[in-house]
Structure 1
Amino acid sequence: MSAVSDVRPGPRPSLPAALAWGVLAVLALSGWNPHDRMTWFPEVVWVVVGLPLLVLTRRRFPLTGLLCCLLAAHAVVLMVGGHYTYAEVPVGDWVRNAFGLDRNPYDRFGHLMQGFVPAVLTRELLVRTSPLRGSRWLAPLTVCACLAFSAVFEMLEWAAAVAGGHAADAFLATQGDAWDTQWDMFCALIGATASLLLLSRVHDRQLVAVTSPRRVAMPGPQRQDEPAQQVPADHPGHQVGHESVVRGHAQDEQQ
């Protein structure tokens, strides 16, 4: 008898592994002669802590492929910002000069990602670990969680400013904007809302694939008390077997 086993499929094993190695490579490059070592570490500490945590829980709680890709992209944004500091990222300088902006916009982009990616992460955790799956409260609570995380991050920046004084200016990346904190949280709000509007359907399909067990038949010995499988009379195999028996009887009669 064949045993049946439930298997929860996740993303292809090669995808998370490739993303993890890619993040490690970018982390090494980011840590090579950064603009300010004291600014670099607080910016990339989320990657240093988060990547091992995801690796350790990959079998017990595999994430969707969409979330894996988004987390890797967010990690790259953090590491690039940590290497150059957010106010001096070259691509941000190019955008500022090309569009005549008053400041390097990479910091704003980073806070958009701070809402865009955690929205999918929060949504996945709520769908898989709470009764909110299919609830109308799922989207509002996801946005609220992202705003709460953004507020906590701003308080961490405030604590760094109090502790470090002018030495924390590169970490804050306010660039002289008195409303920088409010803009950061607003960008996180826009990012979280856009993420839910753009990715919810794709995310739902991948969540079904991850959370629905796939029944796999495992080969095993047939029990003696299990009745043999009957073959219908009109089955091709039955007809072939019948012809073989008739042919055998005819040969016996000729002998």
Structure 2
Amino acid sequence: MPKADRRLVALGMVWAIGLLASGWSPFDRATWWMEVAPVLIAFPLLVATRRRFAFTDLALVLIGLHGLVLMLGGAYTYARVPIGFVVQDWLHLARNPYDRFGHLMQGFVPAIVLRELLIRGGGIAHRLLAPAVLGFCLAISALYELLEFGAAMALGQGADAFLGTQGDPWDTQWDMLICLTGASLALLTLSRPHDRQIARAEEDQIGRP
């Protein structure tokens, strides 16, 4: 079995266990479906494109971790995740911070995924790479906030668990800022190891019959 297939099999098994655990008895079934929807979309796309474009190990591990973050948030809703209450008490915060962590990941993971797509796809100057990635991540965050707005309008009070604002009138702005922060952190800390993995992936692709 090719390496790309083995990695996707492993990811599929981890995500399947995560989906089963988080979806067994979620706090709110409709919220669970909305939160895990990216996972249900991403995995078929990864499988369908594995021959033409196999992500690096770094990108794939981050994608896997992000999926688990979404599943945990879907199981409890972001405002009720137990580990968030532990951190809230530890840091004496006014709210459960798991939602903030989710939005940090919303920038951190797509930054590496988008960076890889842009580098390996070509057609963009290196000096424009970071601004383009940051701009894309901020656009993703804005789109997600608009989707949350649409859910709130469609579901009324039933969307409270999905929104997870916890009474903060500036929740949308904070979410977008934290997403941008996560994307910036990813570029600052992972660009060099990511470049090495991309170089190896391109060498493997050239050597593949």
Scaled to the shorter chain, the TM-score interval is over 0.9
Gaps of 5+ in 1: 1-9, 219-255
TM normalised by structure 1 equals 0.78
- Give the counterpart of 1:45 among 28, 37, 56: 37
- Structure 1 runs (4+) deviating above 4 angstroms are 10-13
Aligned residues: 207
Which structure 2 residues correspond to residues 190-201 of structure 1 after superposition, within 5 A?
Answer: 190-201=181-192
Residue 89 of structure 2 aligns to which amino acid in structure 1? N
Shift of 1:13: 4.8
Deviations along 1:16-50, whole A, 9 cap, x unmatched?
A: 32122111110111110100001000000000111
Residue 70 of structure 1 aligns to which amino acid in structure 2? L
Is the partner of 2:127 in helix, strand or coil? coil
What is the rounded CA distance, in whole Å, between the counterparts of 1:163 and 1:190 in structure 2? 30
Q: Relative contact order, CA 8 A, sep 6+: which one is greater?
A: 1
| Structure-2 residue corresponding to 1:124 | 116
| Structure-2 residue corresponding to 1:143 | 134
| Structure-1 residue corresponding to 2:27 | 35
Which structure 2 residues correspond to residues 41-190 of structure 1 after superposition, within 5 A?
Answer: 41-132=33-124, 135-190=126-181
Shift of 1:57: 1.3
Is the partner of 1:136 in helix, strand or coil? helix
| Structure-2 residue corresponding to 1:7 | none
Whether contact under 8 Å (1:116, 1:191) holds in the other structure is yes
Gaps of 5+ in 2: none
What is the rounded CA distance, in whole Å, between the counterparts of 1:211 and 1:180 in structure 2? 41
TM normalised by structure 2 equals 0.94
Residue 155 of structure 1 aligns to which amino acid in structure 2? L
What is the rounded CA distance, in whole Å, between the counterparts of 1:143 and 1:214 in structure 2? 30
What is the rounded CA distance, in whole Å, between the counterparts of 1:200 and 1:144 in structure 2? 17
| Structure-2 residue corresponding to 1:244 | none
The yes-or-no answer on 1:206 pairing with 2:204 is no
Over 3 Å counting, the alpha-carbon distance change for 1:12 and 1:57 in structure 2 is closer
- The CA RMSD over aligned residues, in Å, is 1.6
What is the rounded CA distance, in whole Å, between the counterparts of 2:11 and 2:64 in structure 1? 6
Which structure 2 residues correspond to residues 223-238 of structure 1 after superposition, within 5 A?
Answer: none
| Identity among equivalent pairs (%) | 52
